[in-house]
Amino acid sequence: MQKRTVHPLTWLFRQCQSHQWMLWLAIVLSLTAAVLALGPYYVVYLIVDHLLAGDGGQHLWWLSMVALALMLGRYVCLLASVYLSHHCAFHIQYHIRRSALDRLAKTTLGFFSQKTSGELKKNLTEDIDRIEVFIAHQLPDLVASVVIPLTTFSLLLVIDARMALIALLPIPLALLCQMALFRDYQSKAEQYHESVEKLNRSVTEFVKAMPVVRLFGIGERSYTQLDRDIQSHQQYIESWTQSAGWPFALFKTVLGSGLVFMVPCGLYFWSQGTLSVSSFLLCILLGVGMLEPLFTLTLLGTYLGQVFEGVARLINIVTLPKLAENVSETPIRNFDIAFRQVDFAYEGQDTPALNQVSVSLPAGSLTALVGPSGAGKSTLAALLAGFWPLKSGEIFIGGQPLSQLSEAQRMDAMALVYQDAFVFTQTVMSNLTMGKDYPMEAVIAAAKAANAHDFICRLPDGYDTVVGQEIRLSGGEKQRLSIARAILKDAPIVVLDEPTSHSDATNQALIQSALNTLIAGKTVLIIAHRLATIQAADQILVMENGAVTDRGTHNQLIERAGWYAEMWQVSQQAQTWSMGQQTQHEEVDCA
């Protein structure tokens, strides 16, 4: 976790600057309600004093009315405090969510490959929901838990200073118990959040993988990892609870032990004639409840640790580095691409993912990337798309450095189609237009070019059908929607991550036909897993260990008899393989 630069509480107050007066007023009203809560006790003390003195009459009724007014005033203050604190809490929630989502929309796209959806879900839901509970409920309670003991002690000093000091006797021992209770609390709170995030990751992965799990009949074995994470979280919670159990129980016992000291001392003072019966009774009533808010304060303290740790993680999100907001006024007139001495290493890894890569992609050409897994193919394509800032070297588009182009320029110049097409739970039209205004004729033309129009027309509401809920699309249909989206965008540069690799024969033919329409006249970079699909490429780049080790056309690479020629031979042999046929060739991953 990143190092904190500001205290979470200070940061929270900054998030409600326009409503800060409302929060402070809620705190003042809560404080007033806490003070008014002691008023009826003092009025009862006055009534008992008058009764013991034999005084009666109308003024006792007036005292009763005063006690009732104090109670009503307390409830009015509490109601107003709760209303204002909730209003402010919801404003802070809204502001933080907007800030977090805005920063996530502007940070490097590579960030999302490091964070799982389970972690981000926890940050954007659970951690922010805790803020609402803290501001709306616990902050007023926190004020009351501090003010009530101080006000009660002050009132006891007025009544009898000796009894006030005796009421404080349990505090030293209670503080020792509290120190034991909060030992290493910061590190435990961090471990708790890490445990919850890990559990969220496992649950999300288990749910997403359920079809594969059921298909292969490995339900019990697949449950092992999730069960292990659940047990680990349970064991951590049990361990924390057990270590805090005895200090917590002793702390609660000590805070409630005021009577042990106050009753015998009060009786002694009364027997000596230095303490009246009414004063004795009031001291007992106030003294017993004086330290009780400290117990509430301790409970709030344990919860505050979780709140502040969650806020610290939200601070890490809203302070993520933004993409450089370059505003280039020079239009891109040519769409050739050049990588010059590009080095890149992922954060926390010593081995570079790319090492001194220098290649050129002429405008309107088709360039294919091939190589074993981990060679750096996807990293090279991701850097071109701007997922990560370059560590060293430069990428040029039309002679202009990529780092000096605005994000809008870069995104307008590129269309990306990946293996796993993502479809939003919205209408087909929204999935195609992505919020931009296109004529209906252009949308239909793009869908037809991607061989998607026919299946769209078969949907219940055609282009207005909401997909992703009741209506679910096949993988091939999603892929064709993704290609139609790219055709509609009509970007001059196209990056493909072998979009036919997961398709059956029928869908593959349809997708290949759609791709031919998409890439016509464009500068294309394709990550190839099936070598048969790139024979006609203008150039093929062979990558190994983060470097380009060979380049040329299909025929040139075959003639050199290198890695590509070997993989081509293996792929051709694989095409002639049939069920039941034995082979002496080892399986080779050419992806």
Model pLDDT for residues 485-502, shown as the tens digit of each residue:
888 888 899 888 876 655
CB-CB neighbours of 344 under 10 Å: 21
Same domain, 377 and 520: yes
Same domain, 17 and 139: yes
Same domain, 428 and 554: yes
Categorise residue 428: left if φ over 0, alpha if ψ from -120 to 50, beta otherwise.
alpha
CA 382, 385, 391, 392: dihedral to nearest 10 degrees? 110
Q: How many domains does the chain have?
A: 2
> Where residue 132 falls among pLDDT bands split at 50, 70, 90?
confident
- Inter-CA distances, 380 with 396, 419, 554, Å: 13, 16, 21
Backbone angles phi, psi at 352, to 5 degrees: -70, 140
- Residue closest to 296 by CA, chosen among 189, 139, 179, 153: 139
Q: Are 533 and 455 in contact (CB under 8 A)?
A: no
Backbone angles phi, psi at 369, to 5 degrees: -110, 125
Q: Looking at residue 16, which CATH number applies to its domain?
A: 1.20.1560.10
* 3-state class (DSSP) for residue 267: helix
Kindly state whether residue 279 falls inside one of the protein's structural domains. no
Kindly state whether residue 141 falls inside one of the protein's structural domains. yes
For residue 281, the one-letter residue type is L
Check pLDDT > 60 for residue 3.
no
Mean pLDDT computed over 113-123: 74
Q: Looking at residue 438, which CATH number applies to its domain?
A: 3.40.50.300
Tell me the torsion sign for CA atoms 5, 10, 11, 17.
Answer: negative
Same domain, 313 and 379: no
Kindly state whether residue 272 falls inside one of the protein's structural domains. no
Same domain, 373 and 516: yes
Helices 185-208 + 219-255 axis angle, to 10: 150
For residue 54, give its domain range: 10-158+290-320
Cα–Cα distance between 194 and 122 in angstroms, integer? 11
Same domain, 413 and 553: yes
Cα–Cα distance between 4 and 19 in angstroms, integer? 25
Cα–Cα distance between 173 and 255 in angstroms, integer? 9
Same domain, 375 and 507: yes
Kindly state whether residue 456 falls inside one of the protein's structural domains. yes
Model pLDDT for residues 65-112, shown as the tens digit of each residue:
888 998 999 899 989 988 998 888 888 888 888 888 888 877 777 777
Q: Are 157 and 319 in contact (CB under 8 A)?
A: no
Model pLDDT for residues 358-386, shown as the tens digit of each residue:
999 999 899 999 888 888 888 898 888 88
> Where residue 1 falls among pLDDT bands split at 50, 70, 90?
very low
Mean pLDDT computed over 277-302: 78
Model pLDDT for residues 529-557, shown as the tens digit of each residue:
778 778 888 999 999 888 999 999 989 98
Most confident of 52-61, 74-83, 217-226, 528-537: 74-83
pLDDT of residue 220: 54
Same domain, 493 and 566: yes
Check pLDDT > 50 for residue 586.
no
Mean pLDDT computed over 122-137: 84
The β-bridge partners of 366 are 524
For residue 40, the one-letter residue type is P
Kindly state whether residue 206 falls inside one of the protein's structural domains. no
Same domain, 305 and 393: no
Same domain, 417 and 313: no
Same domain, 459 and 348: yes
Same domain, 344 and 465: yes
Cα–Cα distance between 412 and 406 in angstroms, integer? 10
DSSP letters, 530-568, are: -GGGGTT-SEEEEEETTEEEEEE-HHHHHHHTSHHHHHH
Kindly state whether residue 327 falls inside one of the protein's structural domains. no
Cα–Cα distance between 473 and 507 in angstroms, integer? 13
Kindly state whether residue 256 falls inside one of the protein's structural domains. no
Kindly state whether residue 583 falls inside one of the protein's structural domains. no
